[in-house]
Chains A and B, each alone.
Chain A
Amino acid sequence: MATVDYKTLKNGGFMRQIQKNRFSLRLKVVGGNLTAEQLTTIAEIAKKYGDGHIHLTSRQGVEIPFIPLDNVDAVKNELLEGGVLTGVCGPRVRTVTACQGCTVCPSGCIDTYPLAVAISERYFGRELPHKFKFGITGCQNNCLKAEENDLGIKGGYLISWREEACTLCGVCVKACRENAIEINGNSLIFHEEKCNHCGRCVKSCPTDAWQGTSGYLLSFGGTFGNLIAKGNQILPIIHDDAVLFRVADAALAFFSEYAKPSERFRIAVDRAGWDQFKKTMEQAYAGTGISNRIFN
């Protein structure tokens, strides 16, 4: 038998188990969705090569444990035939997670799955100083826990009020949890500085007097393992996918430039300084960053 290259196996999603020559195979899942056909393939492989059970990871991943080392290639080929790809581990962009978003969930403000696919296609597996996690959540309910991710994306609405459609019914005043809306006699007062873009006024308004333009609220530097830190929101709401990708590109470039090897994004930004990072992100947001001048 050839020498086992554990690093290559791990990078390809084969996680060494405590049992000798047994691997837990991590599969590629984007936005938490698999087709029924993919699940059937996974079930068949688990029965044929594993011990018949499947593990669901904390980040919407699927792993088939107890794959014998000798079967690694056969398993990969059979999975591929069944439309299932293997995942990644190590210092690179990991599984892009997402909630169901506005095409399924009444609370959703953005269409999360196509965005997860687009982000995964652009960044999945990209090598970096350490792991890097993207997570997409459709609204302020935050089922997907955006701020736990290195780069979290949360759906929101930039709202506006049409006086002519408003009946001053009072529903939005109570729907808003930030106390940003007030009705005083025959006038409505919107305290814009309190608005967190949750869009509950839009969703609940009986006459559609509240209108919302959907967008992304980004959080940077979240990590929830050995170090626990919440991602920081430092940019205004983003409405344009091109701006989102410009900012994400700049964040990954910053990570590559400032992190020491094997250093998490959060630590790198903490050390480089949030002021500098914020300035870089603001330039990317505005389209005035150095990288934009080179690549665009």
Chain B
Amino acid sequence: MPEQESQTEYSIDDAVDITDVVCPTTFVKAKVALEELDDGQILSIRMNDGEPVQNVPRSIKEEGHKILKLLDNRDGTYNLIVRKIEE
């Protein structure tokens, strides 16, 4: 398996927790947090299992940002690591 460097090495610039909101606010909260960042910076988004982890990554992709990793926190939540891509 050839691994891409950008997917394995990153440093997180900011974090947002969207486990306290439900769809569609989950994506809105993540989107607002991404807007605070500069191009290329990395956001960690903590989200619940179920619908958020099924849907939020796709919405982030459709906004044009780069998803690097989905980490299982083993507590019913996941951290989605996203690199902000300015349009």
Question: Closest CB-CB distance, A165 to chain B, in whole Å?
Answer: 9
B interface residue numbers (CB < 8 A to A): 1-4, 7, 49, 53-54, 57-58, 61-62, 66-72, 78, 80
Complex Cα distance, B51 from A112, in Å, reads: 26
Q: List 17 A-B contacts (CB under 8 A).
A: A106-B62, A164-B2, A166-B1, A170-B70, A170-B71, A171-B67, A171-B70, A171-B80, A174-B54, A174-B57, A174-B78, A175-B57, A177-B54, A186-B1, A200-B54, A206-B67, A207-B4
Question: Closest CB-CB distance, B58 to chain A, in whole Å?
Answer: 4
A interface residue numbers (CB < 8 A to B): 106, 163-164, 166-171, 173-175, 177, 186-187, 200, 203-207
Which of these, A168, A171, A177, A207, contacts B1 with CB under 8 Å? A168
With A203-B58, A206-B61 already in contact, 15 other A-B pairs whose C-beta atoms are closer than 8 Å: A167-B7, A167-B68, A169-B7, A169-B67, A170-B70, A170-B71, A171-B70, A171-B80, A174-B49, A175-B58, A186-B1, A203-B61, A204-B61, A206-B57, A207-B4
Complex Cα distance, B3 from A25, in Å, reads: 63
Complex Cα distance, B4 from A163, in Å, reads: 12
Of chain A, the residue at the smallest CB distance from B57 is A171
Please judge, given known A-B contacts A177-B54, A200-B58, whether A169 and B69 are in contact too, CB under 8 Å.
Answer: yes
Evaluate contact between A204 and B58: CB separation under 8 angstroms. Answer: yes
Evaluate contact between B69 and A170: CB separation under 8 angstroms. Answer: yes
Complex Cα distance, B61 from A203, in Å, reads: 9
Please judge, given known A-B contacts A106-B62, A200-B58, A204-B58, whether A174 and B2 are in contact too, CB under 8 Å.
Answer: no
Of chain A, the residue at the smallest CB distance from B61 is A206
Please judge, given known A-B contacts A169-B7, A170-B71, A206-B67, whether A163 and B57 are in contact too, CB under 8 Å.
Answer: no
Evaluate contact between B1 and A163: CB separation under 8 angstroms. Answer: yes
Evaluate contact between A167 and B3: CB separation under 8 angstroms. Answer: yes
Residues on B with beta carbons closer than 8 Å to the beta carbon of A203:
58, 61
10 tightest CB-CB pairs across the interface, nearest first? Answer: A206-B67, A170-B70, A204-B58, A167-B7, A174-B53, A171-B57, A169-B69, A171-B70, A204-B57, A186-B1
Complex Cα distance, B3 from A166, in Å, reads: 8
Of chain B, the residue at the smallest CB distance from A170 is B70
Complex Cα distance, B62 from A186, in Å, reads: 27
Complex Cα distance, B58 from A175, in Å, reads: 8
